[in-house]
Amino acid sequence: MAELKLKDVRYRYGKAARDALSGVSCEFRAGEVAAVVGPSGSGKTTLLSIMAGLDRPSGGEVYLGDKELGGMDLDEYRRRYVSVIFQAFHLFPLLTVLENVCFPMELNGVPEREAKGRAREKLAQVGIAEEKHRRYPSQLSGGEQQRVAIARALSSGARIILADEPTGNLDGENSRNIVDILTRLAHEEGYCVVIVTHDMAIAEAADSVYVVSDGVLTRRI
Ligand SMILES: Nc1ncnc2c1ncn2[C@@H]1O[C@H](COP(=O)(O)OP(=O)(O)OP(=O)(O)O)[C@@H](O)[C@H]1O
Ligand SMILES: [Mg+2]
């Protein structure tokens, strides 16, 4: 069964003259990496925002498994089921690395000791050494910051990872490293991973590729 399914989704921003997404239908599965490519302004981030539950579609439906999101509390959906990773990392600058990773668990009511233990585990999983746990994000390289952001995404327990240009601010080697981590999470741990990217190498390595053009999505692979 698809982890996340969109059925004829349409979205229009406030007073915009036209739809940012129209008639979008697709399925994203657990254990797979899907890439979404397309020109600037075509609707990729809008699509991810709908899937992340940041907004309701103007038409159509989004399903988590067999449950329609319309009947769910979006706050809970965002806290428990999806994690978003951004190009600009979006770590909290005044929290340490460890505190950043603990944050979503605290929101979910996980006791502090347990949260710290799990955070250390997730940081190890993305290759952030113990000595860096007390640093602030500004004291890390870009690649390290993105790995902390992934650890934070994992710490919520969400099984769907939505990444918007996660390697946009990174060089080739760091990009590959991030994509390797995301791919491993999908293939070995069964996460459902969706990556918006301009990087054709990332798209080619994905299990499926979608192209968005003027708000219309088509599957390529
Ligand atoms: N908050 C907003 N209000 C009104 N229109 C918006 C808003 N955000 C995006 N749009 C419009 O919706 C369309 C799709 O934007 P979106 O951000 O999804 O594009 P994108 O494919 O992510 O582009 P990029 O590759 O540049 O990030 C664009 O025409 C954009 O101008
Ligand atoms: Mg975008």
Residues 6+ apart with CB under 8 A from 160: 3, 4, 28, 51, 81, 82, 83, 191, 192, 193, 194
Q: Residue 43 CA: which ligand 1 atom is closest?
A: 18
Q: 42 in ligand 1 pocket by Cβ < 6 Å?
A: yes
Residue range 47-68: average pLDDT? Answer: 96
Residue 19 half-sphere exposure toward CB, CA atoms < 13 A: 18
d(CA 18, CA 129): 48
Residue with tokens 């036209």: 18
Q: Please say whether the beta carbons of 84 and 162 come within 8 A.
A: yes
Residue 15 is given by DSSP the state T
Residue 80 is given by DSSP the state H
Nearest CA to ligand 1 atom 12: 20
Q: What are the backbone dihedrals phi and psi of residue 196, each rounded to the nearest 5 degrees, phi first?
A: -85, 130
- Is the torsion defined by CA of 101, 106, 112, 113 positive or negative? negative
Q: Residue 212 CA: which ligand 1 atom is closest?
A: 21
Q: 129 in ligand 1 pocket by Cβ < 6 Å?
A: no
* Residue 134 reports pLDDT greater than 80: yes
Distance 41 CA to ligand 1 centre (A): 5
Query: By CB neighbour count within 10 A (0-12 exposed, 13-18 middle, 19+ buried), where does 198 fall?
Result: middle
Q: What local confidence, expressed as pLDDT, does residue 120 receive?
A: 98
* Residue 1 reports pLDDT greater than 80: no
pLDDT digits (tens, 9 = 90+) for 165-195: 999 999 999 999 999 999 999 999 999 999 9
Residue 111 half-sphere exposure toward CB, CA atoms < 13 A: 2
Tokens of 97: 């690395």
Tokens of 2: 């698809």
Q: Which pLDDT band, with edges at 50, 70 and 90, does 63 fall under?
A: very high
- β-partners of residue 94 are none
